[in-house]
Structure 1
Protein backbone atom coordinates (compact mmCIF):
# COMPACT_ATOMS: atom_id res chain seq x y z
CA UNK A 1 0.00 0.00 0.00
CA UNK A 2 1.58 3.32 -1.05
CA UNK A 3 2.14 6.20 1.33
CA UNK A 4 -0.45 8.93 1.22
CA UNK A 5 0.98 12.20 0.01
CA UNK A 6 -0.75 15.53 0.36
CA UNK A 7 0.02 18.80 -1.30
CA UNK A 8 0.59 22.02 0.57
CA UNK A 9 -2.75 23.34 -0.68
CA UNK A 10 -4.57 20.26 0.67
CA UNK A 11 -2.92 20.78 4.07
CA UNK A 12 -3.93 24.45 4.10
CA UNK A 13 -7.54 23.55 3.28
CA UNK A 14 -7.54 20.85 5.96
CA UNK A 15 -6.15 23.36 8.48
CA UNK A 16 -8.91 25.86 7.65
CA UNK A 17 -11.60 23.15 7.88
CA UNK A 18 -10.34 22.07 11.30
CA UNK A 19 -10.16 25.71 12.45
CA UNK A 20 -13.74 26.38 11.29
CA UNK A 21 -15.09 23.49 13.38
CA UNK A 22 -14.03 25.34 16.53
CA UNK A 23 -13.03 22.10 18.28
CA UNK A 24 -9.35 23.01 18.55
CA UNK A 25 -7.38 26.04 19.65
CA UNK A 26 -4.92 27.73 17.33
CA UNK A 27 -2.06 26.34 19.44
CA UNK A 28 -3.33 22.77 19.09
CA UNK A 29 -3.80 23.17 15.33
CA UNK A 30 -0.31 24.64 14.95
CA UNK A 31 1.24 21.68 16.78
CA UNK A 32 -0.82 19.22 14.77
CA UNK A 33 0.09 20.74 11.40
CA UNK A 34 3.65 21.69 12.33
CA UNK A 35 3.29 25.40 11.56
CA UNK A 36 3.96 28.56 13.56
CA UNK A 37 1.24 30.74 15.05
CA UNK A 38 2.04 33.69 12.72
CA UNK A 39 1.66 31.35 9.75
CA UNK A 40 -1.67 30.10 11.09
CA UNK A 41 -2.98 33.63 11.59
CA UNK A 42 -1.78 34.58 8.10
CA UNK A 43 -3.68 31.62 6.59
CA UNK A 44 -6.82 32.48 8.56
CA UNK A 45 -6.62 36.14 7.55
CA UNK A 46 -6.17 35.27 3.87
CA UNK A 47 -9.06 32.81 4.04
CA UNK A 48 -11.37 35.36 5.68
CA UNK A 49 -10.49 38.06 3.13
CA UNK A 50 -10.16 36.06 -0.10
CA UNK A 51 -11.71 32.65 0.55
CA UNK A 52 -9.97 29.52 -0.66
CA UNK A 53 -8.25 31.52 -3.45
CA UNK A 54 -6.25 33.32 -0.77
CA UNK A 55 -4.64 30.04 0.30
CA UNK A 56 -2.86 29.60 -3.04
CA UNK A 57 0.89 30.17 -3.18
CA UNK A 58 1.59 33.85 -3.84
CA UNK A 59 4.53 35.43 -5.59
CA UNK A 60 7.25 36.82 -3.35
CA UNK A 61 8.69 39.03 -6.08
CA UNK A 62 8.46 42.75 -5.42
CA UNK A 63 5.81 44.61 -7.39
CA UNK A 64 8.24 47.25 -8.59
CA UNK A 65 12.00 47.45 -8.47
CA UNK A 66 13.16 50.43 -6.39
CA UNK A 67 15.95 51.32 -8.83
CA UNK A 68 13.87 50.97 -12.00
CA UNK A 69 14.33 53.61 -14.67
CA UNK A 70 11.49 56.13 -14.81
CA UNK A 71 9.01 55.69 -17.70
CA UNK A 72 9.51 59.31 -18.78
CA UNK A 73 13.24 58.69 -19.22
CA UNK A 74 12.64 55.44 -21.11
CA UNK A 75 10.29 57.19 -23.52
CA UNK A 76 12.85 59.94 -24.04
CA UNK A 77 15.61 57.39 -24.74
CA UNK A 78 13.45 55.57 -27.28
CA UNK A 79 12.46 58.85 -28.95
CA UNK A 80 16.12 59.85 -29.25
CA UNK A 81 17.03 56.44 -30.68
CA UNK A 82 14.24 56.73 -33.24
CA UNK A 83 15.47 60.20 -34.24
CA UNK A 84 19.17 59.19 -34.30
CA UNK A 85 19.11 55.59 -35.53
CA UNK A 86 22.88 55.26 -35.97
CA UNK A 87 23.84 56.47 -32.48
CA UNK A 88 24.69 53.96 -29.79
CA UNK A 89 23.97 53.90 -26.08
CA UNK A 90 26.92 56.15 -25.13
CA UNK A 91 25.91 58.99 -27.42
CA UNK A 92 22.20 58.68 -26.70
CA UNK A 93 23.03 58.91 -22.99
CA UNK A 94 25.01 62.11 -23.60
CA UNK A 95 21.99 63.62 -25.39
CA UNK A 96 19.87 62.91 -22.29
CA UNK A 97 21.84 65.50 -20.31
CA UNK A 98 19.88 68.21 -22.15
CA UNK A 99 16.61 67.06 -20.57
CA UNK A 100 17.49 65.38 -17.27
CA UNK A 101 19.85 65.77 -14.32
CA UNK A 102 22.90 63.58 -13.85
CA UNK A 103 21.18 61.60 -11.05
CA UNK A 104 18.18 60.77 -13.24
CA UNK A 105 20.11 59.49 -16.24
CA UNK A 106 20.76 55.71 -16.31
CA UNK A 107 24.11 54.13 -17.07
CA UNK A 108 25.29 53.27 -20.57
CA UNK A 109 24.69 49.59 -19.83
CA UNK A 110 21.08 50.30 -18.84
CA UNK A 111 20.50 52.30 -22.03
CA UNK A 112 22.03 49.51 -24.12
CA UNK A 113 19.95 46.88 -22.31
CA UNK A 114 16.83 48.91 -23.11
CA UNK A 115 17.86 48.88 -26.78
CA UNK A 116 18.33 45.11 -26.62
CA UNK A 117 14.90 44.52 -25.08
CA UNK A 118 13.29 46.73 -27.72
CA UNK A 119 15.25 44.93 -30.50
CA UNK A 120 16.91 48.17 -31.60
CA UNK A 121 20.43 46.68 -31.56
CA UNK A 122 21.89 43.21 -31.95
CA UNK A 123 23.78 41.27 -29.31
CA UNK A 124 27.48 40.80 -29.84
CA UNK A 125 28.08 37.51 -31.54
CA UNK A 126 24.54 37.31 -32.91
CA UNK A 127 25.96 37.27 -36.41
CA UNK A 128 28.31 34.43 -37.13
CA UNK A 129 30.66 34.31 -40.08
CA UNK A 130 31.07 30.90 -41.66
CA UNK A 131 34.50 30.31 -42.99
CA UNK A 132 35.05 27.78 -45.69
CA UNK A 133 38.45 26.14 -46.10
Structure 2
Protein backbone atom coordinates (compact mmCIF):
# COMPACT_ATOMS: atom_id res chain seq x y z
CA UNK A 1 0.00 0.00 0.00
CA UNK A 2 1.32 3.40 -0.94
CA UNK A 3 1.11 6.18 1.65
CA UNK A 4 -0.88 9.15 0.44
CA UNK A 5 0.17 12.58 1.66
CA UNK A 6 -2.63 15.09 2.21
CA UNK A 7 -2.53 18.69 3.35
CA UNK A 8 -4.43 20.31 6.18
CA UNK A 9 -6.76 22.16 3.84
CA UNK A 10 -7.53 18.95 1.92
CA UNK A 11 -8.44 17.17 5.16
CA UNK A 12 -10.65 20.03 6.33
CA UNK A 13 -12.41 20.21 2.97
CA UNK A 14 -12.92 16.44 3.01
CA UNK A 15 -14.40 16.74 6.51
CA UNK A 16 -16.85 19.44 5.38
CA UNK A 17 -17.87 17.44 2.29
CA UNK A 18 -18.46 14.35 4.44
CA UNK A 19 -20.43 16.44 6.91
CA UNK A 20 -22.63 17.97 4.21
CA UNK A 21 -23.29 14.49 2.77
CA UNK A 22 -25.29 13.73 5.96
CA UNK A 23 -24.27 10.06 6.01
CA UNK A 24 -22.77 10.19 9.52
CA UNK A 25 -23.43 12.30 12.58
CA UNK A 26 -21.16 15.18 13.50
CA UNK A 27 -19.87 13.21 16.51
CA UNK A 28 -18.94 10.18 14.39
CA UNK A 29 -17.17 12.36 11.81
CA UNK A 30 -15.22 14.23 14.47
CA UNK A 31 -14.04 10.96 16.02
CA UNK A 32 -13.04 9.67 12.58
CA UNK A 33 -11.04 12.83 11.82
CA UNK A 34 -9.57 13.11 15.32
CA UNK A 35 -10.99 16.55 16.12
CA UNK A 36 -13.36 17.89 18.75
CA UNK A 37 -17.01 18.59 17.96
CA UNK A 38 -16.39 22.27 18.69
CA UNK A 39 -13.73 22.35 15.97
CA UNK A 40 -15.99 20.44 13.57
CA UNK A 41 -18.84 22.90 14.02
CA UNK A 42 -16.39 25.82 13.68
CA UNK A 43 -15.05 24.52 10.35
CA UNK A 44 -18.56 23.86 9.06
CA UNK A 45 -19.83 27.34 9.98
CA UNK A 46 -16.77 29.00 8.44
CA UNK A 47 -17.23 26.98 5.26
CA UNK A 48 -20.89 27.98 5.04
CA UNK A 49 -20.05 31.66 5.61
CA UNK A 50 -16.85 32.03 3.55
CA UNK A 51 -16.57 28.96 1.36
CA UNK A 52 -13.28 27.04 1.08
CA UNK A 53 -11.31 30.16 2.10
CA UNK A 54 -12.96 29.99 5.52
CA UNK A 55 -11.09 26.77 6.29
CA UNK A 56 -7.73 28.57 6.53
CA UNK A 57 -6.36 29.24 9.99
CA UNK A 58 -7.17 32.73 11.23
CA UNK A 59 -4.48 34.88 12.85
CA UNK A 60 -4.53 34.75 16.64
CA UNK A 61 -3.09 38.21 17.20
CA UNK A 62 -5.55 41.05 17.78
CA UNK A 63 -6.15 43.26 14.79
CA UNK A 64 -4.11 46.44 14.58
CA UNK A 65 -7.32 48.43 14.17
CA UNK A 66 -8.37 47.64 17.73
CA UNK A 67 -8.21 50.52 20.17
CA UNK A 68 -5.39 50.37 22.72
CA UNK A 69 -6.52 49.16 26.12
CA UNK A 70 -6.87 51.79 28.80
CA UNK A 71 -6.04 50.97 32.42
CA UNK A 72 -8.91 50.68 34.87
CA UNK A 73 -9.60 54.01 36.67
CA UNK A 74 -8.86 52.42 40.06
CA UNK A 75 -5.35 51.49 38.84
CA UNK A 76 -4.18 55.09 38.61
CA UNK A 77 -0.76 56.17 39.87
CA UNK A 78 -0.44 57.70 43.34
CA UNK A 79 -0.70 61.45 43.44
CA UNK A 80 1.70 63.85 45.11
CA UNK A 81 -0.50 63.81 48.23
CA UNK A 82 0.57 60.20 48.82
CA UNK A 83 -2.74 58.40 48.37
CA UNK A 84 -2.78 54.70 47.52
CA UNK A 85 -2.97 53.46 43.92
CA UNK A 86 -6.09 51.49 44.71
CA UNK A 87 -8.48 53.09 47.20
CA UNK A 88 -9.91 49.65 48.06
CA UNK A 89 -6.61 48.55 49.64
CA UNK A 90 -6.36 49.45 53.29
CA UNK A 91 -3.38 48.86 55.56
CA UNK A 92 -3.63 48.17 59.25
CA UNK A 93 -1.27 50.47 61.13
CA UNK A 94 0.08 48.68 64.17
CA UNK A 95 1.00 50.67 67.28
CA UNK A 96 4.62 50.87 68.41
CA UNK A 97 5.40 49.56 71.91
CA UNK A 98 8.43 50.27 74.09
CA UNK A 99 9.97 47.04 75.43
CA UNK A 100 11.56 46.63 78.85
CA UNK A 101 15.04 46.34 77.30
CA UNK A 102 14.71 49.72 75.52
CA UNK A 103 13.94 48.33 72.07
CA UNK A 104 10.76 49.13 70.19
CA UNK A 105 8.36 46.67 68.65
CA UNK A 106 5.54 47.23 66.16
CA UNK A 107 2.31 45.40 66.97
CA UNK A 108 1.01 44.02 70.19
CA UNK A 109 0.24 40.83 72.07
CA UNK A 110 -2.63 39.98 69.69
CA UNK A 111 -0.48 40.67 66.63
CA UNK A 112 1.10 37.89 64.54
CA UNK A 113 4.73 39.17 64.64
Task: Give TM-score, length-normalised by structure 1.
Answer: 0.47
Which structure has the highest strand share of the two? 2
Query: Which residue does 2:19 correspond to in 1?
Result: 19
- Counterpart-to-counterpart distance in 2, 1:47 and 1:67: 32
Deviation at residue 2 of structure 1 after TM alignment: 4.5
1:43-54 equivalences under 5 Å are 43-54=43-54
Query: 1:3 Cα shift?
Result: 1.8
Shift of 1:52: 0.8
| Structure 2 SS opposite 1:35 | coil
Point out where structure 1 has 5 or more consecutive residues left out of the alignment: 69-102, 104-133
- The unaligned stretches of length 5 or more in structure 2 are 70-76, 78-113
Question: Hey, what does 2:39 align to over in structure 1?
Answer: 39
Q: Residues 58-106 of structure 1, C-alpha deviation per residue, up to 9 Å, x if partnerless?
A: 21111037658xxxxxxxxxxxxxxxxxxxxxxxxxxxxxxxxxx9xxx
| Structure 1 counterpart SS, 2:24 | coil
Between the two proteins, the alignment pairs up a number of residues equal to 71
When you count helix as a share of all residues, which structure comes out higher?
Answer: 1
Task: Please name the residue that 1:30 is paired with.
Answer: 30
Structure showing greater Rg: 2
Aligned counterpart, 1:108 = none
Partner of 2:7: 7
CA distance in 1, matches of 2:67, 2:8: 32
How many angstroms apart in 2 are the aligned matches of 1:51 and 1:67? 32
State the TM-score, normalizing by the size of structure 2: 0.55
